[in-house]
Amino acid sequence: MFQSACSTIRESLYGIKCSSQVDGRQIVGTGTGFLIAPGVVATASHVLHHEGDWSKPIHPHLQVIRAPKVGGQMHKAELIADFPNKDLAFLRIEEEDKIPVVELSTDERQRGEQIGSLGFPLATMKRFRQQQAFVLIERFQSGFVSAKYRQNRGGSPLSIIETDSNIYSGSSGCPGFDPSGKVFGLLSATKTDRQQKGEAYRLAIAMWIPSAEIIDAAHAAGIRLVDFEF
């Protein structure tokens, strides 16, 4: 069902590596992003901050690599804008070719609708021939829309699409899309198994920032989205 959509999405998909030197040691963060306009990658804000914490600084060294180029050289990225209250951020990259952008969809998503996501969860750093290598594996995940609501973040209301997906760790910034390849949102957070009164219960929830919020934030940042000019 999602084979064609995955082939389309991966052309606009990026792995993100963020790094800092703190007290003589390197701190690294990883995530996923996707191209929403020429030279502009959208990702989750917390991916760029130390330890995924909005109260901590943004990593000064940002690098990306496009899915079809994984295994090759990473490219420098620069921060355009950061919206912690929406968990959205935008990066400027230099395009090596004319890369297609994703199709952002503001269509209303219905409970029970099947969705997919693609990205680079479980990314690791490994030493290879005296060098640190960024190990990325492209992974597809799926689920169903289970709820839609608004949440207060930093004093501002934010729309959320919730799915019943048990998402891999490190999936932040992944695009969520329908079988036609239209992107409905960006993965912000997950909730997994917890303990309650000494008993384990299964909880698999993924929370997505809808494309309408991405479009609004992009316009606030001065990013021109050709299909969404007002």
CATH number of the domain residue 74 falls in = 2.40.10.10
Q: Is 65 in the same domain as 122?
A: no
Q: Is residue 162 part of a domain?
A: yes
Q: Is 68 in the same domain as 108?
A: no
- How high is the pLDDT of residue 14? 97
- Return the number of other C-beta atoms located less than 10 Å from residue 216's C-beta: 16
Residue whose structure tokens are 């993965």: 187
Q: Is residue 134 part of a domain?
A: no
Q: Is residue 110 part of a domain?
A: yes
- How high is the pLDDT of residue 173? 97
Residue whose structure tokens are 């932040």: 172
Q: Is 206 in the same domain as 115?
A: yes
- Does residue 147 sit in helix, strand or coil? strand
Secondary structure of 22-86 in the HEC alphabet? Answer: ECCEEEEEEEEEEEEECCEEEECHHHHEHHHCCCCCECCEEEEEEHHHCCCCCEEEEEEEEECCC
Per DSSP, which regions of 111-230 are E strands?
114-119, 124-128, 131-135, 139-153, 156-163, 175-177, 182-191, 194-196, 199-201, 205-210
Per the structure, the count of domains in the chain is: 2
* Threshold 0.95, pTM exceeds: no
Query: Residue 206: which of 220, 191, 217, 195 has the closest Cα?
Result: 191
Q: Is 144 in the same domain as 85?
A: no
- How high is the pLDDT of residue 117? 97
The alpha-carbon radius of gyration of the chain (Å, integer) is 17
- How high is the pLDDT of residue 82? 98
- How high is the pLDDT of residue 134? 78
- How high is the pLDDT of residue 230? 38
Q: Is 80 in the same domain as 167?
A: no
pLDDT in tens, the chain (230 residues): 999 999 999 999 999 999 998 887 888 899 999 999 999 999 999 999 998 998 899 999 999 999 999 988 899 999 999 999 999 999 999 876 789 999 999 999 999 999 999 999 988 776 666 666 778 999 999 999 999 999 887 778 899 999 998 788 889 999 999 999 999 999 999 876 655 555 555 567 899 999 999 999 999 999 999 765 43
Domain that holds residue 199: 103-126+139-211
CB-based contacts of 73: which residues, under 8 Å, 6+ apart?
65
